[in-house]
């Protein structure tokens, strides 16, 4: 029944797209332009970035499975992250310095934050000294979390579109650090000591965290769209989102390494809960790592706000006019895509 409901829910996307309610127009076959060998030659920077990202993703997938040493996997993950940062920055800089810096920030912002979601979930459900939430309740909490997403969108649209990117990202990241410490409150059971029920605490924590996360995600998407030069917006935007996903993957690998080094590796948090004795230390490490993106913001996030005019090849129109008008040609040709 659950899967049937999910299938029916997908019709909410299928129906309007099928009956032309989205306002898009079909591109004629004669007007379509595919990725030819000439296109790859003319866009050597993008091609090189794609090769680097694909190679690193494949290497990480293979080595994370076959390499047994925790320290070796940690070193490999860090090395791959440095390779991506170096390759992406020096290749995209030929197109636009602002594009290169934004790409590096999008990647590093996720890569330097270890992910502990699965470990915290196992503790919430199985630990003898934990809250022992049911899966039904956690599913309800996830649904409630979408209220936080909606609230974040409304607040962002109303109050933050004219605020600079640096202030938005800096404030949101500081709040996310504080929100992560709420996991520490739950694990240490401090909320119980002050009389706050686990269920009420988790619902409030989820809504608050999702609201703050939307403050970061929404302007990040706008910034990614603004720094993409004209004529290859779709290609570069897809690449920036791929960098974000790759950063998430490396953050997951680093989170696994942190858990293994602290001996929080058993999924069965039963018994007296001693298997989870170092989970609070892992949460503290994650909170400290969440401070790292704050240090990157002054150097990698460009000036401007979401409501400002779009950047042209990484420069705002105002900056281009001040520089003498018109955009300089990039070293790589950027053909127009229809």
Q: Which residues contact 194 (CB under 8 A, 6 or more apart)?
A: none
Which of these ranges, 112-126, 212-226, 299-313, has the smallest mean pLDDT?
A: 299-313
What average pLDDT does the structure give for the chain? 79
> Distance between CA 115 and CA 59 in Å, rounded?
20
Q: How confident is the model at residue 30 (pLDDT cuts 50, 70, 90)?
A: low
- Which is more confident, 2 or 286? 286
- Cα 231–chain centre separation: 25
Mean pLDDT for the stretch of residues 154-169? 88
According to the model, what pLDDT value does residue 338 have?
33
Structure tokens at 266: 């058993």
Structure tokens at 22: 């989205």
Angle between helices 97-111 and 198-227 (to 10 degrees): 160
> Distance between CA 72 and CA 78 in Å, rounded?
10
Task: State pLDDT tens for residues 263-307.
Answer: 876 544 544 444 456 888 888 999 899 899 999 999 999 888 888
pTM: 0.79
According to the model, what pLDDT value does residue 146 have?
80
User: Is residue 200 a contact partner of residue 305, using CB atoms and an 8 Å limit?
Assistant: no
Q: Is CATH 1.20.1250 the classification given to domain 48-308?
A: yes
What residue spans define the domains of the chain? 48-308
User: Is residue 320 a contact partner of residue 327, using CB atoms and an 8 Å limit?
Assistant: yes
Which of these ranges, 51-60, 104-113, 120-129, has the smallest mean pLDDT?
A: 120-129
- Nearest alpha-carbon partner for 249 in 54, 94, 41, 45: 54
According to the model, what pLDDT value does residue 105 have?
94
């Amino acid at each position: 029944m659950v899967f049937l409901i999910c299938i029916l829910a997908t019709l909410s996307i299928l129906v309007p797209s099928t009956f032309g309610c989205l306002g898009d127009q079909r591109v004629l076959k004669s007007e379509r332009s595919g990725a030819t060998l000439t296109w790859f030659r003319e866009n050597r920077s993008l091609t090189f970035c794609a090769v680097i990202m694909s190679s690193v993703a494949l290497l990480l997938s293979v080595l994370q499975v076959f390499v047994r040493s925790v320290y070796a996997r940690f070193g490999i993950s860090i090395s791959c992250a440095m390779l991506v940062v170096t390759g992406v920055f020096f290749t995209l800089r030929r197109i636009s310095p602002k594009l290169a810096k934004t790409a590096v920030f999008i990647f590093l912002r996720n890569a330097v934050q270890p992910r502990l979601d699965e470990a915290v979930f196992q503790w919430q459900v199985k630990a003898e000294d934990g809250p022992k939430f049911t899966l039904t309740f956690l599913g309800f909490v996830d649904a409630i979390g979408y209220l936080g997403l909606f609230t974040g969108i409304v607040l962002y649209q109303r109050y933050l579109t004219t605020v600079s990117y640096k202030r938005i990202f800096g404030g949101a990241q500081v709040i996310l650090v504080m929100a992560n410490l709420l996991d520490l409150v739950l694990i240490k059971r401090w909320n119980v000591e002050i009389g706050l029920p686990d269920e009420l605490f988790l619902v409030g924590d989820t809504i608050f965290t999702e609201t703050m996360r939307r403050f970061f995600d929404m302007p990040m998407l706008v910034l990614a769209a603004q720094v993409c030069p004209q004529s290859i917006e779709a290609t570069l935007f897809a690449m920036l989102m791929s960098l974000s996903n790759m950063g998430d993957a490396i953050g997951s690998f680093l989170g696994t390494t942190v858990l293994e080094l602290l001996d929080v590796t058993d999924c069965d948090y039963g018994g007296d809960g001693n298997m989870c004795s170092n989970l609070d230390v892992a949460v503290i490490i994650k909170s400290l790592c969440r401070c790292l993106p704050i240090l990157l913001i002054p150097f990698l996030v460009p000036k401007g706000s979401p409501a400002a005019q779009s950047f042209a090849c990484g420069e705002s129109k105002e900056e281009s006019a001040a520089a003498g008008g018109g955009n300089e040609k990039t070293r790589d040709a950027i053909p127009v895509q229809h």
